[in-house]
Chains A and B, each alone.
Chain A
Amino acid sequence: MEQVAIEMNGIEKKMRHKMIGPIDLKLPKGYVIGLIGENGSGKSTLIHMMLKIVFPDRGSISWFGKNYPQEIPHNVRCQIGFVSEKSCSEEDNLTAEEAAEFRAQWYPEWDQMYFEELLGKFKVPRNIKLKKMSKGERRKYEISAALAPRPKLLLLDEPSSGLDPFAWKLMIDELRSYMESGEATILLSTHIVDEVKRLADYVLLLHHGKLHGIAEKDSLMDNWKEIWVSGGTDLAEDLPGIIQVQQEIQGVVRMITTDCLHTEQILHDSGIPVLKTRTLELDEILSLWLKGHLPAGMQSGKGD
């Protein structure tokens, strides 16, 4: 595997109502990784541990290949951008400009021109306190401020909540151009499947505090398909990755496979024509994956 932005080994954390981990994962550098999971699955806690806002009970984390048992050193911390699920209340009484001025002191790489450009594009209101802004406006400020120092790693916890569809599209475009350099990495926690579809290279699935694996998004799209063939349900016994079989009318059987390439190859070699193929929608794939059907070739609990 390529260079790693963040690596977690054996991470465990007991929360009040749930247990997170053990989690092993690697975030490959230069990619957008979509973090998916139901409410309360531990997505925010996972991100907070990557920032040492929350300390794990067990296990180790490394940032760009190094461990920091104490604090994350300032020169490393300032390469990490963060958009929190909840806006930070310390900035409530500041305007966007004032808050940025404060933040810029901490980030040597802060790019004020870029920040101004983003505020302009997102139409963030000027000269009003952040707490007076609408949720979406505040969100747009947060995204702009997180991008302004051009961090090497950007942790986004539901960045799009509250954004109107136009601002949302703009955010997607800005995140894409931020990724152009190939040096940056984004971990994007979201409930919006379309966001993953448009942005992510990898998908990371978290369920009840456990990692269900990390998969290449296109590999999911290529392999999770619904196919219709002539025959009976017994066909499924000899095919790989079949997770659903249903007899339809007139000797047609409908199957869902997680290993379409091999399934189609075997059918082709056996002279059984495929009548129809449909790629599952990403949300269908994710919900089947959540139910415990792992992508082909993936072992449970493994992060890579």
Chain B
Amino acid sequence: MWIPIQLNENSAEPLYHQIESQLRSLIISGQIKEGILLPSIREFAGGLNCSVITVRRVYQDLENEGLLRTKQGTGTFVAKVGDSQREIFKREAVEEALSSAVDVGISVKCEEEELKQLFLKILHSKYHSEKGEGEA
């Protein structure tokens, strides 16, 4: 099983954290399905040019979260993701993205009201895109 993970070496985010959050979202979003056998630690590490220490840490963390399970002698599999878990993850992902968007607003000294109007405008154009394009 090939896992589409894209590392950004020039990010301040540690490698294990990048791998872990991408793998987590692939599992929770259902792109890697329950029961799939993940690559061995050495194979996964080789594909990313990172060390087995890093991959082992990711597998262990996600196993502790209940997203992976390891069968002795067979390997590491994707576990069942609960609906509530999926909901929490969805909300957290959106919250995180919105929060960093607001940070950008603050860094360029945007007023709260201005930001709110911008947000509503973007929201409107995204959800009613056909109409929006017609007017523009």
Interface residues of A (CB under 8 A from B): 30-31, 176, 179-180, 182, 197-198, 200-202, 216-218, 221-222, 225, 227, 260-261, 264, 273-274, 277-279
Contacts and interface: CB of A to CB of B under 8 A. Distances in A.
A222 B14 contact: yes
Contacts of B15: 218, 221-222
24 contacts: A30-B52, A31-B53, A176-B42, A180-B42, A180-B43, A198-B46, A200-B51, A201-B51, A201-B52, A202-B51, A216-B51, A216-B53, A217-B50, A218-B14, A218-B16, A221-B15, A221-B50, A222-B15, A261-B12, A264-B12, A273-B107, A274-B12, A277-B11, A279-B10
A217 B14 contact: no
B70 interface: no
B9 interface: yes
Contacts of A278: 10
Contacts, number: 52
A241 B3 CA distance: 35
Nearest to B11: A277
A34 to B, nearest CB: 10
B49 interface: yes
B49 A198 contact: yes
Contacts of B52: 30-31, 201
**Secondary structure call for the A interface:** mixed
B22 interface: no
Interface string B73-87: 000000000000000
A221 B9 contact: yes
B10 A277 contact: yes
Contacts of B49: 197-198
B40 interface: yes
B25 interface: no
Contacts of A279: 9-10
B105 to A, nearest CB: 14
Interface in B6-48: 9-12, 14-16, 40-43, 45-46
Nearest to A31: B52
B60 interface: no
Contacts of A277: 10-12
Contacts of B11: 277
Nearest to A268: B12
Nearest to B15: A218
Contacts of A31: 51-53
B12 A225 contact: yes
Nearest to A28: B53
Contact of A260 (B12, B43, B53): B12
A276 to B, nearest CB: 8
A44 B43 CA distance: 29
Contacts of B41: 182
B45 to A, nearest CB: 8
A201 B46 contact: no
B116 to A, nearest CB: 23
Contacts of B12: 225, 227, 260-261, 264, 274, 277
Contacts of A260: 12
A180 B40 contact: yes
Contacts of B10: 277-279
Nearest to A30: B52
A279 B12 CA distance: 8
Contact of A176 (B9, B46, B50): B46
Given A176-B46, A222-B15, A261-B14, A217 B9 contact: no
A285 to B, nearest CB: 12
Given A216-B53, A274-B12, A279-B10, 12 more contacts: A182-B42, A197-B49, A200-B51, A201-B45, A202-B51, A217-B50, A218-B54, A221-B50, A222-B15, A261-B12, A277-B10, A277-B12
Contacts of A30: 52
Contacts of B42: 176, 179-180, 182
Contacts of A179: 42
